[in-house]
A and B are shown apart, each in its own frame.
Chain A
Amino acid sequence: MVDLIWLVIALPLLGAVGLLFLGKRIGEPNSGRIATLLVIASFFIALIAALPAFGGDFEGENIFLFEWLPSLGVNFSLLWDPLSAMMTLVVTGVGALIHIYGTGYMDGDSRYPRFFTYLNLFIASMLILVLGDSFATMFVGWELVGLSSYLLISFWFEKPSAAAAGKKAFVVNRIGDFGFLIALMIIFATFGSLSYDTVFGNADKLQVGGATVTAITLLLLVGAVGKSAQLPLYVWLPDAMEGPTPVSALIHAATMVTAGVYMIARSASLFSIAPVSSGVVATVGALTALFAAIIAIGQRDIKRVLAYSTISQLGYMFMAVGATAYVAGVFHLLTHAFFKALLFLGAGAVIHGMHGEQDMWKMGGLRKKMPIAFGTMVVAWLAISGIPPFAGFWSKDEILAITYGKGGAWVALWAVGLVTAALTAFYMSRLMFLTFWGEPRWDDGIEPHESPRSMTLPLVVLAVFAAGAGLINTPFRPSLEHFLEPAFAFIKVAHAPEGITPWVLAGVSVLVALGGIAVAYRRYVTRTLPVEEGERWDLVENGFGVDDLYGRTIVLPGKAVAESAAFTVDAKGVDGLVNGVGGAVKRLADAATVLQTGQVRSYGTTMFLGAVAVIAWLLIRGGAF
């Protein structure tokens, strides 16, 4: 079955190409069904191929597909190892559920087949990213997911805000991709190849903490920061919520944005010998986690809360991989994929049931109207808040415990993580209380209703995983750690401290989370809403004006440069040069037309005089005179 793993990529790719040309003819709802079935088939192929891996020591293997770029030492081949297998299962599994959800959510949309074309394209691209066995393949997938993300964010391009959001996401990601590309060049210059085997196999020959490995890893981090929406390149993700909600769930929460975490975990051989870069990764992660959590508190739009929450949770993952706790980072990636996808899909169900309303101040009391959306979202809420035994508790606390256990300056990062945990519990509770508790604050004429079966089914399945996924890697039974061990063999990784410490830390973070929930309860349930929140909240809601700051300091000068390039350098300089050459030739020709009199006899005279001159010259040269 491992030899057939290419089918996992080929099926959604086939769906994307097929629906691109035949989508309109197939129409609704069959195009959605075909796309969904292809992704489900992919999931099961991946599952069967991964079965031997669950048994025990699984080293991974390369599957050669075709010769691609021999000069870069790269073939197009796939790497099927524990890490890529886990990512593949998450992408296809969550992807399949979101496809199912999409068939209900996009019901009646004028570009329904096109939506599934893009969605299938995204799945194929993401799988190329995680399954490739070289940085070159990863880069191809990296760019392709960027493209699918752009297409899907601006899916409703009739809305100027959606078109602008797609553009913003693309441009901001270019900045990160630039760093990634330079990192690839240095890797090639250093190792003479881009394939993982060569690069990671020879990584130990580099000087630990040396300039080369630090430069490579820092530039890789630039790429990861762009794709995973970390400080300072996070600004595109909140705007990406302009896309349809299934897209937000799949691409901008569960899968694509975790590519940066995957890339760092994959390059663990390099990052683990670059302590400075790892420290930067962890610091960026911790600061992002805190900063985004603060902004999430002030949001009124239910999807924007979740967007900032995603940025914040990705910060946790960066903290983990920065602390060389790669398993913990990937574990949080896994649990986050479940509960955040669930939160987004739940929010989508609420928005769907509220006829497109996204402002939480205009919701309230939806508990009884949407029991399934409510019940499943409660699970996700407890999971992300870190309440045991739900998934988020196990993964988040492993990260916090490992960070604390490293001692020194890392304790400060742990403290930041702990504060973030409290804020997370608070803003998620705020979201839940404003949406589902209290008195209805709906606009007139809105009658909230539960969503169709195709939308509630994925909610229930994801709720099961959001509740239980943490159990695959508990301190009692670290199955995931054991499963992923071969992927990080020979790499020095951080482990959670032994003894009583992790339990004390876990107790503290649970208390902090409960505190956050309690504060939110007092503020949003026991008081009559709406609460007047004041100016300071507006500042938070605007994300501390970072967008304005970027607009003033980067976008405006950039536009000025572009405008001067277009209207001065190009219009006057380049065009002036070209037109000048043309004008000069024309003036020369105008001067020469005087000779062209149209009089045959004047031509004759010229010829005659010319002949006389030539003969005279010949005679003089011949010495006749």
Chain B
Amino acid sequence: MTMSDLAVTAGWYMALAALLFSIGAIGLLTRRNALVMFMSIELMLNSVNLTFVAVGKELRTLEGQIATLFVMVVAAAEVTIGLAIIVAVFRRRATASVDELSEMKG
């Protein structure tokens, strides 16, 4: 059984990716908890990954999958640092709400 047998075309993947990306973006812009915002970012990144892989398969090239691997590596690094910062802030402030972290206001 191959993917083409299911007759799922690239358009479907695009639609799903757009949906995931929008959910992630809305989550990022509406939630206050830094941890949840992180999860939203991951969702957005993965929607992009989905796009890469789908388009790569459609065009029969490997670049899409390579780009995906890069994104995953970068995302892993970003999450590591981001989580460390969030933990550090939480230890100091006992909160993870970004609205309360506004000392950089001009």
Measured CB to CB, the residues of A under 8 A from B are 592-601, 604-605, 608
B29 and A604 within 8 A (CB):
yes
A226 CB, nearest partner CB in chain B, Å = 62
**Which one of A595, A597, A599, A608 contacts B25 once the chains associate, using CB atoms below 8 Å?**
A608
Bound complex: CA A594 to CA B25 (Å)? 24
Q: A594-B106, A598-B102 are in contact. List 5 more A-B contacts (CB 8 A).
A: A598-B104, A598-B106, A599-B99, A600-B98, A601-B30
Number of interface residues of B (CB under 8 A): 14
Contact present for A596 and B106 (CB under 8 Å): yes
A605–B31 Cα distance when bound, in Å, is: 12
Nearest B residue to A590 via CB reads B106
Are B29 and A601 in touch, CB under 8 angstroms?
yes
Q: What's the Cα separation between A593 and B104 when bound, in Å?
A: 10
- Collect the chain B residues with CB atoms within 8 Å of residue A604's CB: 28-29
A600 and B106 within 8 A (CB): no
Chain A residues with CB below 8 A from B101, complex form: 598, 600
B70 to chain A, nearest CB (A): 19
Chain A residue numbers with a CB within 8 Å of B28 are 601, 604
Give min CB distance, A312 to chain B, whole Å: 77
Q: Does B103 interact with chain A (Cβ within 8 Å)?
A: yes
Contact indicator A608/B29 (Cβ below 8 Å):
yes
Query: Are B29 and A598 interface neighbours, CB within 8 A?
Result: no
| Number of A-B pairs, beta carbon distance below 8 Å | 34
Nearest A residue to B105 via CB reads A598
CA of A601 to CA of B34 in the docked complex: distance in angstroms? 10
- B102 contacts across to A, CB distance below 8 A: 597-599
> Would you list which residues of chain B between 65 and 106 have a CB under 8 Å from chain A?
98-99, 101-106
B81 CB, min distance to chain A CBs, angstroms: 16
| Majority secondary structure, A binding face | helix
Smallest CB separation, B34 vs chain A (Å):
8
Chain A residues with CB under 8 Å of B32's CB are 601
Return chain B residues, CB-CB under 8 Å to A592: 106
Q: Which residue of B lies closest to A593 (CB)?
A: B106
Contacts of A599 in B (CB 8 A): 98-99, 102, 105
In the bound assembly, the distance between CA atoms of A127 and B3 in angstroms comes to 106
CB distance B106 to A595 under 8 Å? yes
- Residue pair A605, B104 in contact (C-beta under 8 Å): no
Bound-state Cα–Cα, A593 to B105, Å: 8
Judge whether B98 and A601 touch: CB under 8 Å: yes
In the assembled complex, the CB of A610 is this many whole angstroms from the nearest CB of chain B, namely 13
How long is the Cα–Cα vector from A169 to B81 in the complex, in angstroms? 74
Q: Determine the residue in chain A with the shortest Cβ distance to B30.
A: A601
Top 10 A-B pairs, shortest CB-CB distance: A596-B106, A593-B106, A598-B102, A598-B105, A600-B98, A598-B104, A604-B29, A605-B29, A604-B28, A599-B102
- In the assembled complex, how far is the CB of residue B54 from the closest CB belonging to chain A, in whole angstroms? 19
- Contact residues in A for B106 (Cβ distance below 8 Å): 592-598
In the assembled complex, the Cα of A592 lies from the Cα of B106 at a distance in Å of 8
How far apart sit A598 and B100, CA to CA, in the bound complex (Å)?
A: 9
How far apart sit A592 and B102, CA to CA, in the bound complex (Å)?
17
Measured between beta carbons, the chain B residues less than 8 angstroms from A598 are: 101-106
Q: Please, could you name 14 A-B residue pairs with CB atoms under 8 Å apart, sorted by A?
A: A594-B106, A596-B104, A597-B102, A597-B106, A598-B101, A598-B102, A599-B98, A599-B99, A599-B105, A600-B98, A601-B29, A601-B98, A604-B28, A608-B25
- Closest-by-CB residue of B relative to A589 is B106
Contacts of A605 in B (CB 8 A): 29
| Nearest-CB residue, chain B, relative to A597 | B105
- Inter-chain CA distance A593–B99, complex, in Å, is 18
CA distance A597 to B28 in the complex (A): 17
Task: Give the distance to chain A from B21, nearest Cβ to Cβ, in Å.
Answer: 11
Cα distance A488–B74 in the bound complex, in angstroms: 93
Q: How far is the CA of A38 from the CA of B37 in the complex (A)?
A: 89
CA separation between A597 and B103, bound complex, in Å?
A: 9
Q: Which residues of B26-71 are within 8 A (CB) of A?
A: 28-30, 32, 37
Q: Which residues of B contact A597 (CB under 8 A)?
A: 102, 105-106
Distance of A598 Cα from B102 Cα, bound (Å): 4
Residues of A within 8 A of B30 (CB): 601
Bound-state CA distance A608–B103 (Å) is 22
Q: Closest CB-CB distance, B43 to chain A, in whole Å? A: 14
Q: How far is the CB of B30 from chain A (nearest CB, A)?
A: 8
A604 to B44, CA, bound (A): 13
CA gap between A594 and B104 in the complex, in Å: 12
- With A and B bound together, what is the CA distance between A608 and B101 in angstroms? 20
A592, A600, A608, most chain B CB atoms within 10 A: A600
Minimum CB–CB distance from B22 to chain A (whole Å) comes to 11
- B98 contact set on A, CB distance < 8 A: 599-601
Most buried by B among A593, A596, A598, A605: A598
Q: How far is the CB of A366 from chain B (nearest CB, A)?
A: 86
**Smallest CB–CB gap between B96 and chain A, Å?**
12
Q: Which residues of B contact A596 (CB under 8 A)?
A: 104-106
Q: A331 CB to closest chain B CB, in angstroms?
A: 84
Question: Which of B29, B104, B105, B106 has most chain A Cβ within 10 Å?
Answer: B106
Give the shortest distance, in Å, between A592 (CB) and chain B (any CB): 7
Enumerate chain A residues within 8 angstroms of B99, measured Cβ to Cβ.
599, 601
Smallest beta-carbon distance B31→chain A, Å: 8
Chain A residues with CB under 8 A of B37: 600
Alpha-carbon separation in the docked complex, A596 to B104 (Å): 7
Residues from chain A with a CB closer than 8 A to the CB of B25 are 608
Give the complex CA separation of A595 and B104 in angstroms: 11
Please name the residue on chain A nearest to B26 by beta carbon. A608
What residues on A are CB-neighbors of B29 within 8 Å?
Answer: 601, 604-605, 608
**Nearest Cβ distance between residue A619 and chain B, in whole angstroms?**
14
Q: Roughly how many angstroms separate A604 CA and B30 CA in the complex, as a whole number?
A: 10
